[in-house]
Amino acid sequence: MHRIAKVLVCAALATALAPQEPAQAAPLKRLETVAVVEVQRCITETAEGRRAKTELEADFTKSQSKLDRKTKDLQKKVDDLQAKAAMLSQQELQRRQGELIQKEQELQEIYAQMQEELATKEALLTEKIYKNVAAIVKKIAKEEGIQVVLVRSEATVLYVNPKLDLTNRVIVAYDKLHK
């Protein structure tokens, strides 16, 4: 009896540890239609994308102008302090140098804030356009029975037959919908 139990345990272990055949998935249908879209082109070449770029450039120019004025003002103060340094007491010279260092730090903070604001605004504008592009791509894909739409870039898709590129159609459809 004890021997039969050992045989049964060994048989159970052998069955459990034996390599299993992989589970069979439902047969896949061949991809009938694949297309690509250059999303970055859609973002930059739609009318809304060009307006966003113009707006961002105007904001950048305005911020850069403000930064340039503050930089020139700081440079004048540095030049003035250098010219008067010999006539000032050590204590007064240190006080003014401290003020200039503080002004320079403020200038760096303004620059960092400007960069952050522009990056945030660009991200919001880009996200809005991207969502609209994605909706248009989805609509075209459904209407034409396209099963897969890939984002085309040099890093992801090395070659595609131009007939499969939806980018121009998406840009035209985008501009019609979002004037």
Q: For residue 149, which of 161, 163, 134 has the smallest C-alpha distance?
A: 134
C-alpha Rg value of the chain to the nearest Å: 33
> Could you tell me what percent of the chain has a pLDDT over 90?
61
Question: What mean pLDDT comes out for the span 151-167?
Answer: 88
Domain ranges in the chain? 30-177
Look up the pTM and report it.
0.67
Answer with the residue of higher pLDDT: 56 or 22: 56
Which tokens belong to 159? 């070659």
Q: Does domain 30-177 have CATH number 3.20.20.70?
A: no
Instruction: Write down the pLDDT at residue 131.
Output: 95
How does pLDDT run across 57-99, given as a tens digit for each residue? 999 999 999 999 999 999 999 998 888 888 888 998 899 899 9
What is residue 27's predicted lDDT score, i.e. its pLDDT? 60
Share of the chain above pLDDT 70, in %: 82
pLDDT 10s digits, 8-51: 444 444 454 455 555 555 565 565 689 999 999 999 999 999 99
**Distance in angstroms (rounded) separating the CA atoms of residues 119 and 163:** 35
Higher pLDDT, 7 or 64: 64
pLDDT of amino acid 33: 85
